[in-house]
Amino acid sequence: MKFRCERDVLDRAFSTAGRAISNRGSAPPVMSGLHLHLVGDNLAVVGSDLDLTIRVDSKVGGQEDGVVVLPAKLAADIVRSFDSGQVTMTVDDDGARVVAGRSDFNLRVMSADEFPRFEEPDGDAVTLDAESVSAALEQVVKAASGDDSRPILTGVLLAAEDDGLRFVATDSYRLAVRDLPGTSVLGRDQTVLVPSRALEVTGRLLGDAEELTIRLADREASFVVDDVTIVTRLIEGEFPNYRGLIPSDHPNTLVVGRVALIDAVRRVGLLARDATPVRLSMSSEGLELIAITQDVGQAHETLDSTYEGKDKELTVAFNPGYLLDGLEVSPGDEVRLETIDALKPAVIRSVDVEGFLYLLMPVRVS
């Protein structure tokens, strides 16, 4: 194998495909590598941990076709260290030689025969608007759990709704729901559970893209963004009944400026250490935010707001990080905080924009 290309082309391919590689000790050694396959001027770089696979197709100056597996982290670090300009890679029986300017590296390689074959899932291709899907993923993916001991909660539910597609994620402390009206990907009443890790990678790639192509099979899904293809195994199991978690009625409603509330939570949250919650004290006179940490101090801040409810005054406490996650991705200038009491789930919605809600469990305080 031999080819030449710009350093930035190889850097992007290695770093993007490398996101699929995990550090699981049980994986075969070859899975810590990047699989390179050169045919003509097309270089396909693949990284995988068997559950998630990412392929990047790049145009290079091909001189001799071939296949090789390079140590992923080392190869990526070497290419990233080069200045901008041409990189030449040559692979023979002695290993891989990478040359850029006055830099010359020789790397040992792994057997490409042991690397799993890349195959895209079957299924019809559906093309979606990249901008709308990017916004939906940004709003929902953070709410998925990072705890692999509860695999169901590490996924994002894609569900067919009457008028489009719904994204849902929860880690049992918060729940995010985003609807994309007029978007048809699934059959009637069909749902799939996609690992949040795959969707997080997809979301990062959508920034400058115009379209996202999705294929859904029985056990796998693929997401294509320009020259990058992401293939992931779907999660098997029953997603929680999220509809039952969303209260049908909230007797108390607070309307407040979104950016002002974000800034206030961040300031008051400086005193919320060691999982100390931020308290929101609501009344017709406005909103007061309070954080008290023993042996450290306390913080108070008031905001103009509109409050209506069966309780003339209500104080609800939240994990400040979870609260900020919901506020930061809510659309519009104002948010509506709907509450029942100090212990039941609260819901954040945009006042002006429909299609997104963020449910948050309060924290019990004395």
Q: What is the pLDDT of residues 34-69, one digit of tens each?
A: 999 999 999 999 999 989 999 999 999 999 999 999
Between 107-111, 114-118, 312-316, the lowest mean confidence (pLDDT) is in 114-118
Same domain, 131 and 236: yes
Q: Domain for residue 77, yes or no?
A: yes
The answer to whether 305 and 254 are in contact (CB under 8 A) is: yes
Q: Residue 366 domain-assigned?
A: no
In a shared domain, residues 198 and 212 = yes
pTM value?
Answer: 0.89
**191: closest CA among 222, 223, 155?**
155
Residues 109 and 152 in one domain: no
236 domain residue, yes or no? yes
**Do 71 and 105 belong together in one domain?**
yes
Contacts of the segment 221-224: beta carbons below 8 A, 24+ positions apart: 221/121, 221/192, 221/194, 222/120, 222/121, 223/198, 223/199
Same domain, 84 and 178: no
Q: Three-state DSSP class for 155?
A: strand
Q: What tokens were used for 240?
A: 């929680």
- The first and second tokens of residue 336, run together, are 């509506």
Name the residue range of residue 36's domain. Answer: 2-114
pLDDT for 47 equals 96
Q: What mean pLDDT do residues 312-332 have? A: 95
Q: Is 251 part of a structural domain of the chain?
A: yes
Beta bridge partners of 279: 290, 317
- E strands of 182-251, at which residues? 191-195, 211-216, 220-225, 228-233
CA distance 239 to 230: 23
For residues 107-133, give the mean pLDDT. Answer: 88
* Lookup: tokens for 100: 């850029």
Nearest to 137 by CA among 201, 58, 208: 201
- The C-alpha atoms of residue 114 and residue 109 are separated, in whole angstroms, by 12
The single-letter DSSP state of residue 296 is T
* Model confidence pLDDT, tens digit, residues 185-238: 777 778 899 999 999 999 999 988 999 999 988 899 999 999 999 999 999 999
Residues 146 and 89 in one domain: no
One domain for residues 49 and 136: no
User: CA 54, CA 15: separation in Å to the nearest integer?
Assistant: 10
- 261 and 346 inside one domain: yes
Closest CA to 95 of 114, 118, 71, 72: 71
Q: Does 17 share its domain with 99?
A: yes
141 and 232 co-located in one domain: yes
| Residue from 134, 116, 3, 147 nearest 52 by CA | 116
* Residues 109 and 198 reside in one and the same domain: no
Predicted local distance difference test score (pLDDT) of residue 25: 59
Inside any domain, residue 176: yes
What's the number of domains the chain is made of?
3
Which one, of 353, 361, 362, lies nearest residue 178 by Cα? 353
Q: Are residues 146 and 169 in the same domain?
A: yes
Residue 193: phi and psi, rounded to 5, are: -115, 110
Q: Does residue 28 lie within any of the structural domains? A: yes
CATH number at residue 151: 3.10.150.10
Rounded distance between C-alpha atoms, residue 326 and residue 349, angstroms: 9
Residue 76 lies in a domain: yes
